[in-house]
């Protein structure tokens, strides 16, 4: 139990639609990161938010966007869904303190299927 929750657990969408995935971080964690894990692959870094601002991004197009709120909740939004967006989406929260191990605590993920 990491204290990080995600909703929904599973989601089915069709190509071209938009989706919002939600994450609730541990209280006091200033950073939230989102990862995409395709079947049989390792998680790929999408972006990270620190105190409600995006402060780093992986190799994902702008149709992947996010929000982080003061109450330690956050969202991942994906527009114009493509079949290849089908994956497990993981959020991870961390304290965001420089110079430390900065363990990231992962949620259980949202399984998105795009038809």
Partner 1 sequence: GEDVEQSLFLSVREGDSSVINCTYTDSSSTYLYWYKQEPGAGLQLLTYIFSNMDMKQDQRLTVLLNKKDKHLSLRIADTQTGDSAIYFCAETFGANSGGYQKVTFGIGTKLQVIP
- Paired tokens of 58: 């992986």
> Hey, what's the torsion of the CAs at 92, 70, 27, 61, to 10 degrees?
0
Q: According to CB under 8 A, which residues from 90 to 109 bind partner 1?
A: 90, 92, 94, 96-109
Contacts of 58 (CB under 8 A, 6+ apart): 44, 45, 46, 47
Each residue 60-89 as x (binds partner 1 by CB under 8 A) or -, in order, gives ------------------------------
**Binding residue for partner 1 (CB under 8 A) from 48, 68, 74, 93?**
48
Q: How far is the CB of 30 from partner 1 (least distance, A)?
A: 6
């Amino acid at each position: 139990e990491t204290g990080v929750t995600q909703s929904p657990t599973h989601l089915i969408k069709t190509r071209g639609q938009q989706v919002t995935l939600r994450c609730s971080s541990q209280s006091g964690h200033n950073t939230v990161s989102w990862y995409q894990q395709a079947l049989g692959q390792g998680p790929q870094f999408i972006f990270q938010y620190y105190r409600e601002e995006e402060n780093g991004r992986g190799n994902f197009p702008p149709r992947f966007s996010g929000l982080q709120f003061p109450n330690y909740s956050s969202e991942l939004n994906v527009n114009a869904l493509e079949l290849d967006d089908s994956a497990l989406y993981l959020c991870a929260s961390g304290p965001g303190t420089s110079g430390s191990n900065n363990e990231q605590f992962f949620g259980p993920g949202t399984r998105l299927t795009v038809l």
